[in-house]
Chain A
Amino acid sequence: MMRFILPFVIFIILATFLFVGLNLNPREVPSPLVGKAAPAFSLPQLHTPNRQFSPLEMEGKVWLLNVWASWCVSCEAEHPLLIELARQNIVPIVGLDYKDKRQAALVWLERRGNPYVLTVSDVEGRTGIDYGVYGVPETYVIDKQGLIQYKQIGPVTTENLRDKILPLVAELEKK
């Protein structure tokens, strides 16, 4: 009897591991930045390049930092959701235009609508490195103390907006 049970148990264990593995997304690397202060930067604004923006200006507010670019295809997928979110006026979204040409970015926003309270240009991608950006779009939820509370890698979807981001924003607002 043992002859059959043992291989069967081993098979079940292995199959379980493989099955769970199938559903994991290797693209989603846990960010070490969650729970830490949002890295400081001072970058020119996209629409008014002579004015700088720094995350310190958002102190006392819960806000989203959305990394996007005009060359980024999946940014287009999430864009209507951001527009809708901005329309509802729940949380301010700051855009970070990552490694992009200014003109292309302006046209892109003109055509699709601008959900951002303001956008900064990270032409060389240095701020992106500080934020550990590796797959645009990425969205960070930053609390009133300036701590990163959540990082979304890849486009925001209706589901994770409803299940994760919005409840988190509401909770952080209360603090």
Chain B
Amino acid sequence: MRKYLLLLCFIPLFAYAGEAQDMAQDPVLEKRMVILAEELRCLVCQNESLASSHAELAEDLRREVRELMQKGMSDQEIKDYLVARYGDFVLYKPPVKGFTLLLWLGPFALLLGGLGVLVFQLRKRRKVVTETTLSPEAEARVTALLNDEKR
């Protein structure tokens, strides 16, 4: 019985987990591809990056990016290549230009607007709450009342 149990211990030796084929071919290139693909949008499932999407087009585009890298193209050249086909939409970080200016500056404009409103409101409030000075009699009464409460 114990012999058989011992034999069981050797079973994991036959277990084999391989990396995906493409990774094995050139891990450095694959890593570079994934980093670049994370900045690119999959056009089929638009809220997924090219790196994480399982859509068939995404797979094809990853293959394309891999091949362009093998040809020695720089990341920027590859981005330009894809933008020429699919437009700025493939980039998660759209370039700053006339049309996308609102996208880049909009949040800051909103922040400034919010700060403006806040400052305006605080100023107004300070005007509303004015310190009033008490007459000596009133002061004495306040103290008396407060002391009364304490007891």
- Cβ–Cβ contact B43 & A33, under 8 A: no
Asked if A21 is at the interface (CB within 8 A of a chain B CB), the reply is: no
Asked if B87 is at the interface (CB within 8 A of a chain A CB), the reply is: yes
Q: Quick one: CB contact mask for A26-56 with B, threshold 8 Å, 1 for yes?
A: 1101111100000000000000000000000
Q: Quick one: CB contact mask for A119-154 with B, threshold 8 Å, 1 for yes?
A: 000001110111111110000000000000000000
Given contacts A29-B89, A99-B60, A125-B60, 5 further A-B pairs with CB under 8 A are A27-B46, A29-B43, A29-B86, A31-B86, A132-B86
Chain B residues positioned under 8 Å from A124 (CB to CB)? 60
Residues of B within 8 A of A (CB): 43-44, 46, 56-57, 60-61, 64, 83-89
- Cβ–Cβ contact B60 & A129, under 8 A: yes
A64 to B44, CA, bound (A): 23
Chain B residues positioned under 8 Å from A99 (CB to CB)? 56, 60
- Cβ–Cβ contact B61 & A129, under 8 A: yes
Chain A residues positioned under 8 Å from B87 (CB to CB)? 29-32, 132
- Cβ–Cβ contact A131 & B86, under 8 A: no
- Cβ–Cβ contact B85 & A32, under 8 A: yes
A75 to B134, CA, bound (A): 85
A89 to B46, CA, bound (A): 38
Chain B residues positioned under 8 Å from A135 (CB to CB)? 43-44
- Cβ–Cβ contact B89 & A131, under 8 A: no
User: In the complex, which residue of chain B has the Cβ closest to the Cβ of A32?
Assistant: B87
Given A99-B56, A134-B57: A129 and B43 interface contact (C-beta under 8 Å) = no
What 7 pairs across the A-B complex have the smallest Cβ distances? A134-B43, A132-B85, A32-B87, A29-B89, A132-B86, A125-B60, A134-B57
- Nearest CB in chain A: distance from B115 CB, A: 16
- Chain A CB within 10 A, most for which of B85, B86, B89: B85
Given A134-B43, A134-B44: A33 and B85 interface contact (C-beta under 8 Å) = yes
- Nearest CB in chain B: distance from A127 CB, A: 11
A120 to B83, CA, bound (A): 25
- Chain B CB within 10 A, most for which of A27, A99, A132: A132
Given A125-B60, A129-B61: A32 and B46 interface contact (C-beta under 8 Å) = no
Partner of B85, one of A27, A125, A131: A131
State which residues 38-80 of A face B: CB under 8 Å: none
- Chain A CB within 10 A, most for which of B56, B61, B84: B84
- Cβ–Cβ contact B86 & A130, under 8 A: no
Given A26-B46, A99-B56, A135-B44: A129 and B89 interface contact (C-beta under 8 Å) = no
- Cβ–Cβ contact A129 & B44, under 8 A: no
A54 to B91, CA, bound (A): 31
- Nearest CB in chain A: distance from B77 CB, A: 16
- Cβ–Cβ contact A134 & B56, under 8 A: no
- Nearest CB in chain B: distance from A34 CB, A: 10
A2 to B130, CA, bound (A): 23
Chain A residues positioned under 8 Å from B46 (CB to CB)? 26-27
A111 to B10, CA, bound (A): 57
A125 to B57, CA, bound (A): 8
Chain A residues positioned under 8 Å from B88 (CB to CB)? 32
